[in-house]
């Protein structure tokens, strides 16, 4: 069978508050740490939803929109850059599994 | 709502729901809080629920035609993979067709919601039909402490008060950390990232493909090539008309080897034997979640405190000792034991550690901690590089030699084995591994 790209996989995920523009991010990342002292920038490859990306200059960026609340980055980051929480059901964008 | 509950349970997963069911049956006044829009909406598992504790919570659950579970397991398979081959230990027995089943496959969004319905029924039949609740869409921000004792929870501006709090929040245990039972920062050493796809088939096609009969099902674990050199393993479970296929990958090892879990999932699915097993079908969901390794070093310092009990994967109760990945059964049992402790505490009117420490005692005496304690060596062995690399390569290499028939004199299988051992490991390493294995299992 055809192997899916990550974007296609994430397209299958149902999120709540998808259309809300004023959503509050449930994970706050101090990318200054990623981009100064972090020796491995591992979140850019271990995150199953690719919320952490690296641009051509090697700078790490974080966007919470595709987050599936798995917790991987909270454990993977050993530099203290990731402040992890669950999204607030009212004002956060969160995942809702159809199968789980 | 000024009234005080006997207990507030945080999290409507397997542990929280098992606790709630037990409390309802014992006429306790409780509140079960879930952050998702329904029980199970935020939960991910592989997943097989092993053991028969489910029958304790929902007697004769199998009689229900469209119950919350997918299929019962009567077919187990462990597959070793190298880049081209698969070598399986395969066991199927109608012995496992008997109820109560010893393992059922579940999809959590469906199963937890179904179990929550059963809890609602139990609440309705209890003395507190109007005063106990399952409340969804609420995120607990804080466990309220007074003089070192938990007295309730806070969500936003609102507070709910109770004599006790059961934390069943899952592996990302922020509240457990907040009450001081686990360090604020937990390193990646003993956690894995689980990653999964649910693939849908025509049900008849699925049943033909996997030789399923009625609601019988198969569980297949994989080691070797599946994880592309990273610590961990793969799994495939049959649901009613879908399969759950995925991997658990050591997070520290992923970080050190600089690999992406979603790339490795494609690597696994593209193995020639796996490709043939899963062909056709349509991917209908992609999910991921952190999983504990089963290493006791990651467990919280203690599982109770004045007014608080920790159960399920919040207590890192999950283990793979090579025979099965167990976690939901531990969650269920620990939830039941936690609730029973609360019932006892209410009788004594003492919700301090004095009574709550009995939870730890009961858990230690149960199969949960006996297995967690007894199989630590197996856990360490399974997470050693030999197990996810050398051994699967050796087994597959031997298989290739053993099953090849050429028109030339055939070597004795002992010689073939010796060659495979020489190529992928050494007798000395295998003896060491064998001794470790004999000791650990």
Contact map slice: B 271-290 vs A, CB within 8 A: 275, 278-281, 283-290
Residue-wise pLDDT for B310-338, tens only, equals 999 999 999 988 888 999 999 999 999 99
CB-closest option in A6, A74, A97 to B41: A97
- Interchain pair A98, B290: CB under 8 A: no
Does residue B264 or residue B412 have the better pLDDT?
A: B264
Note whether A13 contacts B283, CB cutoff 8 Å: no
Residue B1 has pLDDT above 70, yes or no: no
Q: Most A CBs within 10 Å: which of B13, B113, B290, as the mutation test of the A interface?
A: B290
Residue B240 lies in a domain: yes
Q: Tell me the C-alpha distance between B318 and B325, whole Å.
A: 8
Asked whether residue B68 falls in the same domain as residue B175, the answer is no
Q: Identify whether residues B94 and B196 lie together within a single domain.
A: yes
| CB-nearest partner of B43 from A4, A71, A100 | A100
Angle at B112 between CA B221 and CA B6, to 5 degrees: 125
Domain of B311: which CATH number?
A: 3.50.50.60
The residue among B294, B325, B346 that closes a domain is B294
Enclosing domain of residue B426:
380-440
CA B260 to chain centre: 22
Given the DSSP bridges, would you call strands B319-320 and B232-238 parallel, antiparallel or unpaired? unpaired
Across the range B194-206, mean pLDDT stands at: 98
Is A100 in contact with B280 (Cβ distance < 8 A)? no
Note the pTM of the prediction, 2 decimals: 0.96
Q: Please tell me whether residues B205 and B274 are part of one structural domain.
A: yes
Domain count of the fold of chain B: 3
Element housing B86 (H / E): strand B86-92
Q: State whether B11 and B118 are in the same domain.
A: yes
Q: What is the mean pLDDT of residues B103-128?
A: 98
Span B94-116, average pLDDT: 97
Residue B82 in any domain: the answer is yes
Domain ends where: B294, B311, B329? B294
Query: Quick one: pLDDT at residue A19?
Result: 79
Tens-level pLDDT at each residue, chain A (100 residues): 889 999 999 999 999 888 787 888 999 999 999 999 999 999 999 999 999 999 999 999 999 999 999 999 999 999 999 999 999 998 888 999 999 9
Q: How far is CA B178 from CA B175, B183, B187, B307, B402, in A?
A: 5, 8, 16, 14, 56
pLDDT attached to residue B5 = 98
Alpha-carbon torsion angle B272, B274, B278, B282, nearest 10: -90
């Amino acid at each position: 069978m055809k192997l899916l790209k990550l974007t296609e996989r994430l397209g299958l995920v149902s999120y709540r508050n998808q259309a809300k523009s004023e959503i509050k991010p449930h994970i706050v990342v101090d990318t200054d740490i990623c981009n100064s002292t972090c020796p491995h920038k591992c979140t850019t490859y271990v995150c199953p939803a690719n919320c952490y990306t690296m641009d051509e200059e090697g700078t790490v960026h974080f966007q919470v929109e595709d987050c599936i609340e798995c917790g991987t980055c909270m454990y993977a980051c050993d530099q203290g850059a990731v402040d992890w929480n669950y999204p607030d059901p009212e004002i956060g964008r969160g995942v809702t599994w159809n199968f789980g | 709502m000024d009234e005080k509950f006997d207990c507030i349970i945080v999290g409507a997963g397997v542990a929280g729901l098992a606790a709630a069911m037990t409390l309802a049956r014992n006429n306790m006044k409780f509140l079960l809080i879930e952050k998702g829009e329904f029980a199970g909406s935020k939960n991910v598992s592989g997943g097989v629920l092993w053991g028969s504790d489910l029958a304790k919570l929902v007697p004769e659950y199998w009689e229900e035609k469209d119950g919350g579970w997918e299929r019962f397991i009567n077919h187990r398979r462990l597959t070793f993979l190298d880049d081209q081959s698969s070598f399986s230990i395969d066991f199927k027995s109608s012995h496992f067709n008997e109820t109560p089943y010893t393992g059922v496959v579940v999809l959590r969004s469906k199963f937890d919601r179904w179990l929550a319905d059963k809890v609602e029924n139990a609440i309705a039949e209890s003395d507190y039909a109007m005063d106990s609740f399952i409340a969804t869409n609420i995120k607990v921000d804080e466990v309220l402490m007074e003089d070192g004792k938990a007295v309730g929870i806070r969500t936003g501006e609102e507070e709910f008060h109770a004599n006790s709090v059961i934390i069943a929040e899952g592996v990302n245990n922020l509240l457990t950390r907040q009450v001081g039972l686990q360090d604020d920062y937990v390193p990646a050493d003993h956690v894995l990232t689980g990653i999964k796809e649910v693939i849908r088939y025509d049900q008849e096609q699925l049943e033909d493909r996997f030789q399923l009969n009625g609601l019988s099902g198969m569980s297949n674990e994989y080691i070797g090539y599946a994880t592309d050199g990273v610590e961990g393993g793969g799994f495939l479970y049959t649901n009613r008309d879908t399969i759950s296929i995925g991997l658990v990958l050591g997070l520290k090892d992923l970080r050190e080897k600089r690999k992406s879990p979603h790339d490795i999932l494609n690597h696994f699915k593209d193995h020639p034997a796996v490709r043939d097993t899963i062909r056709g079908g349509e991917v209908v969901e992609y999910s991921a979640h952190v999983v504990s390794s089963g290493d006791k070093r990651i467990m919280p310092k203690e599982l109770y405190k004045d007014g608080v009990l920790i159960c399920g994967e919040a207590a890192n109760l999950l283990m793979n000792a090579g025979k099965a990945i167990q976690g939901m059964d531990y969650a269920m049992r620990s939830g039941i034991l936690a609730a029973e402790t609360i019932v006892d505490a209410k009788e004594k009117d003492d919700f301090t550690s004095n009574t709550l420490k009995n939870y730890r005692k009961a858990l230690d005496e149960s199969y949960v901690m006996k297995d967690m304690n007894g199989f630590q060596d197996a856990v360490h062995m399974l997470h050693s590089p030999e197990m996810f690399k050398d051994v699967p390569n050796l087994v597959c290499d031997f298989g290739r030699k053993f099953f090849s028939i050429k028109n030339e004199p055939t070597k004795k299988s002992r010689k073939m084995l010796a060659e495979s051992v020489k190529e992928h490991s050494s007798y000395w390493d295998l003896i060491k591994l064998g001794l470790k294995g004999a000791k650990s299992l």
